[in-house]
Chains A and B, each alone.
Chain A
Amino acid sequence: QVQLKESGPGLVQPSQTLSLTCTVSGFSLTSNSVSWVRQPPGKGLEWMGAIWSGGSTDYNSALKSRLSISRDTSKSQVFLKMNSLQTEDTAIYFCATRVFAYWGQGTLVTVSS
Chain B
Amino acid sequence: DIQMTQSPPSLSASLGDKVTITCQASQNINKYIAWYQQKPGKAPRQLIRYTSTLVSGTPSRFSGSGSGRDYSFSISNVESEDIASYYCLQYDNLPWTFGGGTKLELK
Which chain A residues have a beta carbon within 8 Å of chain B's beta carbons? Answer: 35, 44-47, 58-61, 94, 96, 99-101, 103-106
Q: Provide the residues of chain A in CB contact with B98, threshold 8 Å.
A: 44-47
| Secondary structure class of chain A's binding surface, majority of residues | loop
Interface string of B79-97 (1 = CB under 8 A from A): 0000000010101001111
The answer to whether B43 touches A106 (Cβ under 8 A) is yes
Name the one of B43, B45, B97 contacting A47, with C-beta atoms under 8 angstroms: B97
Mask, B20-48, CB within 8 Å of A = 1, is 00000000000000101000000111100
Interface majority SS (helix, strand, loop, mixed), chain B:
loop
Give the bracket for the number of chain B residues in contact with chain A. Answer: 20 to 34
B-side contacts of A103, CB under 8 Å:
43-45
Partner of B49 from the list A45, A101, A104 (CB cut-off 8 Å) is A101
Which of chain B's residues have a CB closer than 8 A to the CB of A94? 43-44
What 0/1 readout, one digit per residue, does chain B (56-100) give for beta carbons within 8 Å of chain A?
A: 000000000000000000000000000000010101001111111
- With A44-B101, A100-B44 already in contact, the answer to whether A58 and B87 are too (CB < 8 A) is no
B55 adjacent to chain A (CB < 8 Å):
yes
